[in-house]
């Protein structure tokens, strides 16, 4: 004989057992006992019995009653990318500590997929959005703004659509990287990036170009089409490096392009930094373990996550009053982390000692 399905405990069951009103139980569970002048003794009895029977509130019913789901939709480019994965994990932890849950997903920079995912969040009535915008989602983001649903963008923003955003000064990062390479004596510096019009990629390219122009040096830029298979990208980078043997250093605009670049450089039999110095935008565990260790432009992931969730939660707190809210638009500085891949041999020993001391 099959066991009976255990009946779900309702607020009315708790109220009946404790001989108090349903309203009293509800107020205690929602943390409103004191302001409703419910005695500490009664509140303690309710909470003790709730724990004893393992009562779980019906979240759907609660959200219909309050108009809040306490869920935030997080849309990133690729959750497998260490940068997005780290920021997402930090956001999730901080949101959880403040009573919110995160549902996150990846767009893979596909506009159709991005629009589909945002629509899904709209249908689930999430309380707010944290979005790394893919190209082609401007219409849907404008709709969210018209609905006055709190939203924060990060990593990139939409110049024609004013929104809250937290970004990193990519131009400062690549400019600093190029200057570092020049100070090390490298003068033919190439830049490998994606063929993207997104703000963060354009900023990284602009920083490199500014450094080259300041020193009246030629620009050598390779733009890789987005969405290709890794093997195709590796082959493209390999062909680019082979065709530009005069280049003695290279800056990659993303960590995944840097990883593909390392493979291409290995296939060509070149040595880092003897034949070709290397700097990557964005750090990666591989870069610390690689020999020689790879110099990176590190993004402040903890500061990004903290500012994103702080701005969104402030928006969620204040959105009920209907008053216009000033936009919060932050640009954070990156950090150049110098390792062996970008220094001349004479300075390499000192860099290794500095790395070991960290």
What CATH code is carried by the domain that includes residue 133? 3.40.50.2300
In angstroms, the CA 181 to CA 27 distance is: 63
The secondary structure of residue 288, as a DSSP letter, is: H
Q: 98, 153, 113: which is closest to 130 by C-alpha? A: 153
Instruction: Note the pLDDT of residue 121.
Output: 82
What CATH code is carried by the domain that includes residue 38? 1.10.260.40
Total structural domains in the chain? 3
Query: Are 334 and 168 in contact, with CB atoms under 8 Å apart?
Result: yes
Mean pLDDT over 268-272 rounds to 96
Instruction: Note the pLDDT of residue 221.
Output: 97
Q: What is the CA radius of gyration of the chain?
A: 26
For 142, counting Cβ atoms within 10 Å of its Cβ (0-12 exposed, 13-18 middle, 19+ buried), the class is: middle
1: in domain: no
pLDDT of residue 323 exceeding 90, the answer is no
Mean pLDDT over 308-316 rounds to 91
The verdict on 255 and 176 lying in the same domain is yes
Instruction: Note the pLDDT of residue 4.
Output: 46
The verdict on 242 and 102 lying in the same domain is no
Instruction: Note the pLDDT of residue 256.
Output: 94
The verdict on 175 and 290 lying in the same domain is yes
pLDDT of residue 23 exceeding 90, the answer is no
Instruction: Note the pLDDT of residue 35.
Output: 77
Q: How confident is the model at residue 332 (pLDDT cuts 50, 70, 90)?
A: very high
Cα atoms found within 13 Å of the Cα of residue 356, Cβ hemisphere only: 6
Give the domain range for residue 97. Answer: 69-167+302-332
Give the Å distances, CA to CA, from 226 to 17, 26, 84, 197, 336.
62, 52, 17, 11, 26
The verdict on 235 and 133 lying in the same domain is no
- Mean residue pLDDT across the chain: 87
Percent of the chain with pLDDT over 70: 89
Instruction: Note the pLDDT of residue 255.
Output: 95
* Burial per residue of 299-315, b for 16 or more beta-carbon CB atoms within 10 angstroms, e otherwise: bebeebbebbbbbbbeb
Query: Are 253 and 205 in contact, with CB atoms under 8 Å apart?
Result: yes
The verdict on 352 and 246 lying in the same domain is yes
What is the tens place of the pLDDT at every residue in 139-174? 888 888 887 889 999 999 998 888 999 999 999 999
Q: C-alpha angle with apex 100: 94 to 101, nearest 5 degrees?
A: 95
The verdict on 323 and 283 lying in the same domain is no
102: in domain: yes
Give the DSSP letter string of 37-92.
T--HHHHHHHHHHHHHHT----HHHHHHHHS---EEEEEES-TTSHHHHHHHHHHH
Q: 204, 187, 179: which is closest to 255 by C-alpha? A: 204
Instruction: Note the pLDDT of residue 64.
Output: 42
220: in domain: yes
141: in domain: yes
The verdict on 277 and 341 lying in the same domain is yes
112: in domain: yes
The verdict on 295 and 315 lying in the same domain is no
Q: How confident is the model at residue 326 (pLDDT cuts 50, 70, 90)?
A: confident
The verdict on 193 and 341 lying in the same domain is yes
211: in domain: yes
The verdict on 134 and 245 lying in the same domain is no
64: in domain: no
Query: Are 277 and 253 in contact, with CB atoms under 8 Å apart?
Result: no
The verdict on 131 and 87 lying in the same domain is yes
User: In 107-158, where do the E strands start and end?
Assistant: 128-131, 151-154
SS3 content of the chain, % helix, strand, coil (to 5): 50, 15, 35
pLDDT of residue 60 exceeding 80, the answer is no
Q: What pTM was estimated for this model as a whole?
A: 0.77
pLDDT of residue 129 exceeding 60, the answer is yes
For 79, counting Cβ atoms within 10 Å of its Cβ (0-12 exposed, 13-18 middle, 19+ buried), the class is: middle
In angstroms, the CA 172 to CA 11 distance is: 57
Cα atoms found within 13 Å of the Cα of residue 92, Cβ hemisphere only: 13
Q: Give the list of residues 6+ apart from residue 18 with CB closer than 8 angstroms, or none.
A: 25, 45, 46, 49
Instruction: Note the pLDDT of residue 184.
Output: 96
140: in domain: yes
* Burial per residue of 30-68, b for 16 or more beta-carbon CB atoms within 10 angstroms, e otherwise: eeebeeeebeeeebebbeebbeeeebeeeeeeebeeeee
The verdict on 212 and 349 lying in the same domain is yes
pLDDT of residue 26 exceeding 80, the answer is no
Q: Which residue has the higher pLDDT, 1 or 174?
A: 174
What is the tens place of the pLDDT at every residue in 187-244? 999 999 999 999 999 999 999 999 999 999 999 999 999 888 999 999 999 999 999 9
């Amino acid at each position: 004989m099959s066991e009976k399905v255990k009946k779900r405990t309702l607020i009315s069951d708790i109220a009946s057992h404790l001989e108090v009103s349903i309203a009293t139980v509800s107020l205690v569970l929602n943390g409103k006992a004191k302001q409703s002048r419910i005695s500490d003794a009664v509140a303690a009895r309710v909470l003790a019995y709730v724990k004893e029977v393992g009562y779980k509130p019906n979240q759907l019913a609660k959200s219909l009653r309050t108009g809040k789901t306490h869920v935030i939709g997080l849309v990133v480019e690729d959750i497998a990318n260490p940068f997005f994965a780290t920021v997402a994990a930090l956001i999730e932890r901080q949101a959880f500590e403040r009573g919110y849950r995160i549902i996150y997903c990846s767009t893979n920079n596909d506009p159709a997929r991005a629009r589909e995912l945002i629509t899904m969040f709209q249908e689930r009535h999430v309380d707010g959005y944290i979005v790394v915008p893919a190209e082609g989602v401007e219409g849907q983001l404008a709709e969210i703004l018209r609905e006055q649903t709190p939203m924060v963008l990060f990593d990139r923003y939409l110049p024609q659509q004013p929104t809250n955003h937290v970004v990193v000064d990519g131009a400062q990062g690549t400019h600093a990287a190029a200057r570092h390479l020049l100070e090390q004596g490298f003068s033919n510096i190439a830049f490998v990036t994606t063929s993207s019009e997104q703000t963060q990629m354009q900023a990284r390219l602009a920083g490199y170009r500014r450094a080259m122009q300041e020193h009246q040096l030629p620009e050598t830029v390779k733009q890789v089409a987005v969405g290709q298979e890794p093997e195709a990208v590796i082959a493209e980078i390999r062909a680019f490096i082979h065709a530009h043997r005069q280049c003695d250093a290279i800056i990659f605009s993303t960590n995944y392009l840097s990883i593909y670049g390392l493979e291409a450089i290995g296939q060509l039999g070149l040595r880092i930094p003897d034949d070709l110095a290397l700097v990557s935008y964005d750090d990666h565990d591989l870069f610390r373990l690689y020999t020689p260790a790879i110099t990176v432009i590190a993004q402040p992931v903890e500061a990004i996550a903290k500012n994103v969730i702080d701005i969104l939660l402030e928006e969620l707190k204040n959105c009920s009053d209907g008053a216009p809210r000033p936009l919060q638009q932050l640009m954070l500085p990156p950090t150049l982390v110098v390792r062996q891949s970008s220094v001349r041999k004479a300075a390499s020993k000192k860099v290794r000692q500095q790395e070991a001391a960290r």
